[in-house]
Structure 1
Amino acid sequence: MNLDIAGKIALVTGADSGMGKETARMLLQEGVRVAISDQPGGDLDSSVEDLKAHGEIIAVEADLTKLDDVTALFEKVRAKLGEPDILVNCAGVTGATGDFLDVDDAGWQSTIDINLMGAVRVCREAIPAMRASKWGRIVLMSSEDAVQPYVDELAYCASKAGISSLSKGLSKAYGCDNVLVNTVSPAFIATPMTDKMMQKRADENGTSFDEAIETFLKEERPGMTLKRRGTAEEVASAIVFLCSERASFINGADIRVDSGSVMTVAG
């Protein structure tokens, strides 16, 4: 299928590994010129080395909790590639976890500042030029947790519910300018973040890494009918489709890439 986005410019945040990196790879393979970003101290240079054979790519470090960093990020992308036609915000963290009564204000604020306000900041920078050109695609990363909250990660769940509401609102505000805003909601994808979660679970329970995954699926994610973690490539495929001309009538939607984890129609 020709996605008809060759020559477009994309910015992918949270892209030094996992879903963001695979999204960048697939966009490059479609002929898109790509800027990847992640926080300082990450692995962006290695990602560029891995991806540069697929097309034109640059890397810019930025901490999305800092407004000056976000402004500088877009300035550098504009200077080197041009205005982004496509924005994919994969930057995010699990954040503060544990019993609700044990998570303090700092834990809540940090989680929301990274996951929700980071998305707000990059969207605010990207949308004006997209409106002016009458073409834009924005994909924000939500989660199954947005509609199916888990009691030990309520800060994360609330931040992702905010992402879903933000995306829907932006789609209504700017769809008339052909700026289409959608979300993708993964569940339990094989990424460095879930690797850490499963290693912690294995250490606490005295089991192997694979056993930790097996018991987590059985005890915590019974709706995931495929009984495995998803792959970054499976999520990236959905993201890149939403970035394309083939998705030109999809706006304000959410695509679940969750193996059936969300077990209701309404969620």
Structure 2
Amino acid sequence: MASAEEPLLHQYSENGITTLTLDQPKRRNSLSMAMLEELSTALEQVAQDSETRVVVLAAHGNVFCAGHDLTEIQNRFDDHEFQLALFKLCSKVMQQIVNLPKPVIARVAGVATAAGCQLVASCDLAVAADTARFATPGVNIGLFCSTPMVALSRNVSRKHAMEMLLTGELIGAARAETIGLVNRVVDEQVLDETVYRMARTIADKSGQAVKVGKEAFYRQLELPLADAYEFTSQVMAENMQASDAREGICAFLEKRNPEWSKD
């Protein structure tokens, strides 16, 4: 783990928004074992933090995240147990993002490649600077991006995912938006403004409803159509019993602003 003087990850919270910032620009914010451990711990803490409504995932430097630390991997070529532990931890972190009961927005400036692209795809939303670029280039070095493929293929169409995986070529931010990898592309000068306006908009909603909705969204994706409707019908009926649902409906009918619970 990093020392207290040299943290790999910075955490800052304000007005219901927690920003987690990868901060190892000299190593291209790579997902080393230590970085993944810090990120996993931070996500566990945020999940339990009742004050946090939205999470922003950002990075310092001109590279958002270059994927795994290849130097670390090279130094452990013959250590299969380490390699397996590394990829399992990375997979755990990606699932923590998906399972987090609060929305996660990726703020992407610079390059996001391999597991870094996986990190963007794993977030619920992504806003990119117009200079950002994305790739899953493992095929170029003989190490196919198999785990990044999981998140990528769940965000873009099969053919677009396969093109990225098989060619390993960088794509620009505009292309990433077209294929659904990111939500919005903006000038880098207004990237923060756009990201935090989106985060603020979501943070002002009912935390109860957002939590229920995010969990249901990912669960229904994996179900056949009829099962998805059966599941979401039950979710909505249960959601109707929540205090925020009752408050929201009454506020709408009474033409006033709702007062959401602190849960």
TM (normalized to structure 1)? 0.31
TM (normalized to structure 2)? 0.31
Structure of higher CA gyration radius: 2
Bigger relative CO (Cα 8 Å, ≥ 6 apart):
1
